[in-house]
């Protein structure tokens, strides 16, 4: 058992349910300093956060903040859209309005489009093979 002494007070690491500033030697409270039941949701919730806030650290203090609005995307009902710019999947620098970069040059599906019954309408492989109504096109263009 590790015991820290300051002015005759001590903390049995991993056993304390509360710690005050006079009990801290090195200016830090770590997981080992607190019992598992010492920090509860109610204690964190009671510290000023409101619905949809996130707990952040600003370099000096832990503070509750509202989640910043994402100005890039608009959510409206079941739709998510972007009014300008390009969208990249598998790439951080899209070269077209919609740019999908596959995992290689083989027969991995880079794009798969199905209908509401999950029947394949279109498959595009990393190697460039395109299948219409075919989940595994063996040629540049395969129509089923």
| Domain end residue (candidates: 17, 47, 66) | 66
Domain count, the chain: 2
Residue 91 lies in a domain: no
Q: What is the pLDDT of residues 36-74, one digit of tens each?
A: 777 666 666 556 777 778 888 777 777 788 877 767 888
Is residue 16 scored above 50 in pLDDT? yes
Please tell me the predicted confidence (pLDDT) of residue 106. 81
Residue 1 pLDDT level (bands cut at 50, 70, 90): very low
Among 38-47, 73-82, 119-128, the minimum mean pLDDT is found in 38-47
| Domain end residue (candidates: 66, 83, 115) | 66
Pairwise CA distance, residues 107 & 138, whole Å: 9
Residue 127 lies in a domain: yes
Is residue 25 scored above 50 in pLDDT? yes
Q: Is 42 helix (H, G, I), strand (E, B) or coil?
A: helix
CA distances from 81 to 31, 38, 49, 75, 87 (A): 43, 44, 30, 7, 10
Please tell me the predicted confidence (pLDDT) of residue 64. 82
The tokens describing 108, both together, are 């991995």
Taking the whole predicted model, whether its pTM rises above 0.85 is answered as no
| Domain end residue (candidates: 15, 42, 66) | 66
Please tell me the predicted confidence (pLDDT) of residue 77. 85
Q: Is 130 helix (H, G, I), strand (E, B) or coil?
A: strand
Is residue 108 scored above 80 in pLDDT? yes
What range does the domain containing 138 cover? 102-143
Residue 39 lies in a domain: yes
Q: What is the pLDDT of residues 2-14, one digit of tens each?
A: 444 444 444 455 4
Which parts of the chain are beta strand (E)?
A: 3-6, 9-12, 53-57, 62-66, 74-76, 79-81, 87-89, 98-100, 109-114, 120-125, 130-132, 141-143
Residue 88 lies in a domain: no
Is residue 140 scored above 50 in pLDDT? yes
CA distances from 22 to 5, 12, 60, 118, 137 (A): 10, 14, 20, 65, 72
- Together in a domain, 108 and 62: no
CA distances from 3 to 16, 29, 36, 39, 65 (A): 11, 14, 18, 20, 36
Contacts (Cβ under 8 Å, ≥6 apart) of 144: 131, 132, 133, 134
């Amino acid at each position: 058992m590790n015991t820290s002494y300051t002015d005759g007070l001590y903390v049995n690491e991993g056993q304390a349910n509360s710690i005050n500033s006079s009990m801290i030697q090195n200016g830090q409270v770590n997981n080992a300093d607190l019992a598992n039941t010492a920090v509860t949701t109610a204690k964190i919730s009671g510290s000023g956060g409101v619905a949809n806030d996130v707990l952040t650290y600003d370099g000096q203090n832990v503070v509750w903040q509202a989640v910043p609005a994402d100005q890039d995307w608009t959510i409206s009902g079941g739709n998510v859209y972007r009014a300008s710019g390009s969208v990249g999947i598998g790439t951080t620098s899209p070269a077209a309005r919609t740019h999908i970069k596959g995992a290689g040059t083989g027969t991995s599906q880079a794009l798969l489009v199905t209908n509401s019954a999950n029947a394949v309408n279109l498959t595009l492989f990393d190697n460039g093979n395109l299948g219409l109504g075919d989940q595994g096109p063996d040629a540049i263009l395969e129509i089923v």
